[in-house]
Structure 1
Amino acid sequence: MELSEEELRLLEQMERALVEEDPKLASTLRGTSIVRTARRRMIAGGAIVVVGIGLLIVAVLLELSSVLQTVVGVVGFVVMLGGAILALTSARTPHQAPKVRSSGRTGFGVVDGGRPHRPGRPGRQRSGAPFMERMEERWRRRRERGF
């Protein structure tokens, strides 16, 4: 269903007012600045990795004392590792919100962010008993078995 001319005009006015009032919120809602920032961080991380590799090559090629060669090599590795971490952490999609599973009850949900369950292996089931009752039951069973 298309919007009428008046609705389009009102929408544009609201958008302009939002940009004037809170430009940071407007750019966040658009999502373009987040993508640009992630892209810049990936490029910077890649450049830092190249600098680290260059330091490693310099350490190998130059005839330095063994201590200095080791220090330059370790610094090159640390720089390369830092660049890789920067590039890889920005490669995640920052503009996607985590999915929330609702347990059917009102209140807080569980955020999906952990390991996905394997198809043949269901997740661990929690009993409805409070934590201390479960611990007491486990302790009682251990004593009965002799452990």
Structure 2
Amino acid sequence: MPLSEHEQRMLEQMERALYAEDPKFATALEGSELRTYTRRRVYQAVAGFLVGVALLMAGMVAKLVIVSVLGFLVMLGCAVLAVTGWRKAPKPGEQPPAGQGHDGGGRPHSRRQGRPRRSMMNRIEDRWQRRRDEQQ
């Protein structure tokens, strides 16, 4: 369901105020680091898939079944990586789930167990309300 003009204006005002008051927090909400990581992972998986196709074709031309099977397995593995990476990629403006980031090796951390998952808008609204309460 699309937002009304009034709701869109209110949301834009909230975004501008958030960027003005706390640019570091607003930038963290964008999730650009995780988005870049998952996009790179998907691109690598697509490249691997193409290598698998080349192996499959080379095995067929050379009549080596093992090379063809290896190519098929590479294609299958890369397709799974691409699909899972694509599903996990956050949308623009969406924050990664709590506790999810990157460790030193570039792999994402697993989410903390036991914490209820809250939407990004709920977290923003809570923080906005706390700031308004502090000012009064």
- TM class by shorter chain equals 0.3 to 0.5
- Say which structure, 1 or 2, has more relative contact order (CA 8 Å, 6+ apart): 2
TM-score, scaled relative to structure 1: 0.44
Q: Which has the higher helix share?
A: 2
Larger radius of gyration: 1
Q: Which has the higher strand share?
A: 1
